[in-house]
Chain A
């Protein structure tokens, strides 16, 4: 098989500010076509800026095109190849989704247009809500949160509101039940979101088999102050929580609610539903499971889905249907309020609906199958070279440790960097925290057999190198235009913007 990647010449490119030339123009606007008002009448001098926008660059259109084209070539991306990033679900970003999001009737629609002038948009949001409700098995949906963490925050606020209504609020606005249980394997956004709602975080430990420890859970719930449990299923080590029904029962019996982080839905869609497991509220990541693009860090979308019981607390406005009309409904007196202006990241909702309708019900089920199968193949292919801490069959992602390689002084970070030389983006590293030197691998369904084989072979080659020529691994990457960066120096004396007096080289 041909090797996956090879070094290749690429362009250098300075910062745009370093390319700026006075007088260059990249645009042409139509001339002003109204009678001019004298500037001082338009806006008195004391309200106008006097710096003449000093420092903002002046470049031509070609400058801009070359600038961004050149720097774009320095990025790995999904269209180039697999991202084995556990927990991220880097699947194919369909071009059809991009096309429909750009239809003028969507792209040019102002959010404050009247309801009768926005029926198509409202219908689209409503239909997406219906599908997400069906997929999760939860009755009610809000598309307002702009990202997973935002959806989490929303879910935790809903739990808080529900419990305050049911149990009353404690002194000084303290929640009566002030503890939120979070597994030791949880994503960092979970405790951060809990904190915002005034909860104290207590950790639930995992068993050596990588499952939530039921005894630990019972013990914590026995204290009587538990508001809820935030968990991920499959969990962050890629295993399905077999006792999920019992987990939900324990928390419910103790008077709490169960929140599920939906980041790993790619292992469940069409095969199992959080609502059927006893989960009360979940957030979804449209930019993971539903293929909307990662964009180098967003935009995302984090819909929040919940049971009928929790529905009154969802953010407003809700998108509802009455007769054949779609409406914005603000009449929810128990709502937690608004988590964002307008209705959420509509553009991502368009893409997600397109994804759902392009796949169809059987396509969604098949995608999940392929995602899990691909992860199993990788688990199988790497088990002889890498330490796999859990025996249970993984779902859509599998975790390994660097235990074996560490004996020779080669660590997870080194393996990740060396993978770059083999033409892959590294896997998720050092997460979850409960696994020493974790390497969490999620291929998704968007990878064919050939790419998976390439990946397995690359990882096996690196395992050999770790024994025979460890410096090759610890010094990696060798083929990129820059090597490992001195992040400590960057954090000690942070330079977070360009200034005119700075030179191109950095100290």
Chain B
């Protein structure tokens, strides 16, 4: 083939690269591994991740849930995972219809009118919601709950650093474990939005209705963030409580933990704000014969057309992960989702009750409604306790809150899901009791 294009040696293909830049030698990367060697190497790396091989009570933005077998088997079809973005609708109807179903399911679960085809994850969705609130209201101040996931807050701060938007942190009520907006009194007609997470980072359910009223009174939007999306199977949908934008982490819908990614950002809003949405949108369309199809639409919002005036710079999103969530939701369906949510809440309640019964342990926010995460206050330093629970009892007991809040030395965030059988919960309780007696 070289000769067919008039060349004699492969190096000539790179004639247009200046000689002083052209590499003569091989890169200093390893020599090729055969399949068996590569598998063995990766298996040995994976074996070192002991947390992946034992009972897990970690939540805080990433959740262990059962993934029905058909989810992985269907997304592994070549036609889904090796397909490109559906810019040519005639030969991408599979991808497009699946996204349309995904958008619909997100609307149903969040109680909103329109949802996009996905964002990178929950944290970047919050950041993009801040930018959207500014576009919609033309106001530059956003009030953020003190109980928003700390990493999410950090991402939002990074995004808006030079966007001319100010993030004001609202207080956190130590007694109830929920957001305290009265403390700051920052809601006024310069406020674009209030951002609140529910259930919040500490597992507590927030009073979205009241927050919506307070936001709307000053002409601001209410943005609700959900990290444990399974909660939507039981908890009142944010749309019904008056949310204007709902963002969420969809990883709970059959997506593996995978050390933090790829995950799935959900983004939904009211009909009237549809044209301010970031990200891709799939809509219904017809061909000349009137046959129904699906197509990427309202593309003039996006970067490839609007460039610097786009609603976002997002291009590639989380297509295959959105497909996983779609298959998960359709497999479990209405009743399955309710059952999973109920089991999570029931098991968490059982775990909370039993842990509260251990001498020296308490639940600081016991009186506040929660879903499947709760804060436990131990009689000893949490990180050491959890370390011993791992090494001596082979259980990942939860998150030491000191990771984000250094002053909370004895607090642990525990998450329970339908994947924790009673025996594991009992073992956790016994482990905690034994290590603190």
On whether the beta carbons of B82 and A293 are closer than 8 Å, the reply is: yes
A295 and B305 alpha carbons, distance in the complex (Å): 23
Given the complex, which residues of B lie within 8 Å of A120, measured CB to CB?
A: 44-49
Given known A15-B100, A506-B284, contact A26–B332 (CB-CB < 8 A): yes
Given known A271-B17, A361-B28, contact A61–B70 (CB-CB < 8 A): yes
Given the complex, which residues of B lie within 8 Å of A146, measured CB to CB?
A: 120-121, 124, 261-262, 318
- A8 close to chain B: CB less than 8 A: no
A235: shortest Cβ distance to chain B, in Å? 11
Q: Which residue of B lies closest to A490 (CB)?
A: B285
On whether the beta carbons of B334 and A58 are closer than 8 Å, the reply is: yes
- What 0/1 readout, one digit per residue, does chain B (371-396) give for beta carbons within 8 Å of chain A? 10000000000000011001000001
- B141 close to chain A: CB less than 8 A: no
On whether the beta carbons of A198 and B162 are closer than 8 Å, the reply is: yes
- A65 close to chain B: CB less than 8 A: yes
Q: Which residue of A lies closest to B13 (CB)?
A: A372
On whether the beta carbons of B260 and A344 are closer than 8 Å, the reply is: yes
Q: Which residue of B lies closest to A120 (CB)?
A: B48
On whether the beta carbons of A197 and B162 are closer than 8 Å, the reply is: yes
Given known A27-B331, A339-B155, A361-B27, contact A118–B259 (CB-CB < 8 A): yes
Q: Which residue of A lies closest to B118 (CB)?
A: A298
Q: Interface range on chain B: under 10, 10 to 19, 20 to 34, or 35 or more?
A: 35 or more
On whether the beta carbons of A299 and B42 are closer than 8 Å, the reply is: no
Given the complex, which residues of B lie within 8 Å of A357, measured CB to CB?
A: 30, 32-33, 38, 41
**Residues 129-144 of B contacting A (Cβ, < 8 Å):** none
A103 and B340 alpha carbons, distance in the complex (Å): 25
A188 and B308 alpha carbons, distance in the complex (Å): 8
On whether the beta carbons of B162 and A344 are closer than 8 Å, the reply is: no
Given known A112-B62, A293-B81, contact A32–B346 (CB-CB < 8 A): yes
A172: shortest Cβ distance to chain B, in Å? 8
Given the complex, which residues of B lie within 8 Å of A71, measured CB to CB?
A: 93-94, 97-98
On whether the beta carbons of A239 and B124 are closer than 8 Å, the reply is: no
A175 and B164 alpha carbons, distance in the complex (Å): 12
Given the complex, which residues of B lie within 8 Å of A363, measured CB to CB?
A: 32
- A322 close to chain B: CB less than 8 A: no
- B431 close to chain A: CB less than 8 A: no
Tell me if A's interface is mostly helix, strand, loop or mixed: loop
On whether the beta carbons of B297 and A487 are closer than 8 Å, the reply is: yes
- A114 close to chain B: CB less than 8 A: yes
Given known A29-B339, A110-B62, A506-B285, contact A15–B101 (CB-CB < 8 A): yes
Given known A490-B285, A497-B107, contact A347–B258 (CB-CB < 8 A): yes
Given known A42-B346, A299-B261, A497-B100, contact A110–B396 (CB-CB < 8 A): yes
On whether the beta carbons of B334 and A361 are closer than 8 Å, the reply is: no
A104 and B337 alpha carbons, distance in the complex (Å): 25
- A219 close to chain B: CB less than 8 A: no
On whether the beta carbons of A75 and B83 are closer than 8 Å, the reply is: yes
- Which residue of the partner chain, among A55, A134, A350, A425, contacts B27 with CB atoms under 8 Å? A134
On whether the beta carbons of B16 and A192 are closer than 8 Å, the reply is: no
On whether the beta carbons of A58 and B333 are closer than 8 Å, the reply is: yes
A194 and B319 alpha carbons, distance in the complex (Å): 25
Q: Which residue of B lies closest to A17 (CB)?
A: B104
Segment among A240-248, A251-259, A466-474 that sits at the interface with chain B: A240-248
On whether the beta carbons of B262 and A296 are closer than 8 Å, the reply is: no
Given the complex, which residues of A lie within 8 Å of B236, measured CB to CB?
A: 46-50
On whether the beta carbons of A485 and B121 are closer than 8 Å, the reply is: no
A99 and B6 alpha carbons, distance in the complex (Å): 41
On whether the beta carbons of B94 and A491 are closer than 8 Å, the reply is: no
On whether the beta carbons of B93 and A350 are closer than 8 Å, the reply is: no
A79 and B369 alpha carbons, distance in the complex (Å): 50
8 A-B residue pairings within 8 Å (CB atoms): A34-B422, A64-B330, A100-B42, A111-B259, A147-B317, A294-B83, A301-B262, A361-B26
